[in-house]
Structure 1
């Protein structure tokens, strides 16, 4: 199997066909906000010192126009600009109600960017850091586990593409996959013994 074919197939195993809908709405603020809504949101408001700065809603839309965010990480980015917690939650709630902020879309977006290069452990760690809840993390792990070996093999072929020449080289290849978040047992199945065997079969550690 060619490298490009393997990589494309592994990506398809992680991102289901219905995820294409989410991909088409990645820039949610630009796509979903009405022009007059954006014009109002990008306006400035006065502060106590007489200066002017973007409204909290404007800041949210500018961030969401760049990429998808989880609610927790958007809240973290906006917190220092919010006058109080109630104002922050009001903006977040409006973004959710209007479809600009979507937790599942943010998760799917990260999977599209990371899954081909990262193993399940590392992907989950980033999602956890972004405030994704435990139930969603479990669902993501199931999706990733179904293609973990295939994705690790595609990455190994792209990075190395040939059996290691000795034990030291094999250890280096194993470390590479483990550092990318693939489990040690998956890495051992992918990296063949030194100068022997086809990747993807079980081999000696």
Structure 2
């Protein structure tokens, strides 16, 4: 039985069928399969012109999938790793800013649910929230307890 090699375009479409990918992600993933110089750029240009690659959709996809669990810091990092431009990353951060405290409080509530009783527990909860990408001021307000409820 003969195994047929997927074309670069076929590989790109298969990746895009799974989830949204940025152009930079596709370049990284498909570069090892490029058989002639410039081939990958031509394929990606064609897919972008036809609307298969859209940086705004990548941003929205990340926000929809990750915002309920992660803070703006971690999401910013993910978007930058995906190769999105500074303007789009800034736009995403603007969208997240208004809900950061509420989202962090929900993540904290699901994991812990009660105010820490000692310094060690407080530090553990703070580390958890920081590892999720929430900022210091947000963490402080959550661990301060009910007095800060909005």
TM-score, normalising length: structure 1: 0.68
The alignment's C-alpha RMSD in Å is: 1.7
Match 2:24 to one of 65, 72, 90: 72
Give the helix-richer structure, 1 or 2. 2
Q: How does 1:1-205 map to 2 (within 5 A)?
A: 52-192=4-144, 197-198=145-146, 200-201=148-149
Deviation at 1:84, TM superposition (A): 3.2
TM-score, normalising length: structure 2: 0.91
Paired with 1:200 and 1:61, the residues of 2 have a C-alpha distance of 48
Deviation at 1:52, TM superposition (A): 4.3
Paired with 1:142 and 1:53, the residues of 2 have a C-alpha distance of 43
Tell me if structure 2 keeps the 8 A contact 1:156–1:191: no
Paired with 1:152 and 1:200, the residues of 2 have a C-alpha distance of 13
Cα deviation, 1:94-144, whole Å, max 9, x if unaligned, reads 111222211111111111111111111111111111111111111111111
Q: 4+ residue stretches of structure 1 with deviation over 4 A?
A: none
Larger Rg: 1
Paired with 1:98 and 1:199, the residues of 2 have a C-alpha distance of 52
Deviation at 1:69, TM superposition (A): 0.1
Q: What are structure 1's unaligned runs of at least 5 residues?
A: 1-50
Cα deviation, 1:145-186, whole Å, max 9, x if unaligned, reads 111111101111111111112221111111111111000111
**Quick check: 126-135 or 85-94, which moved more?**
85-94
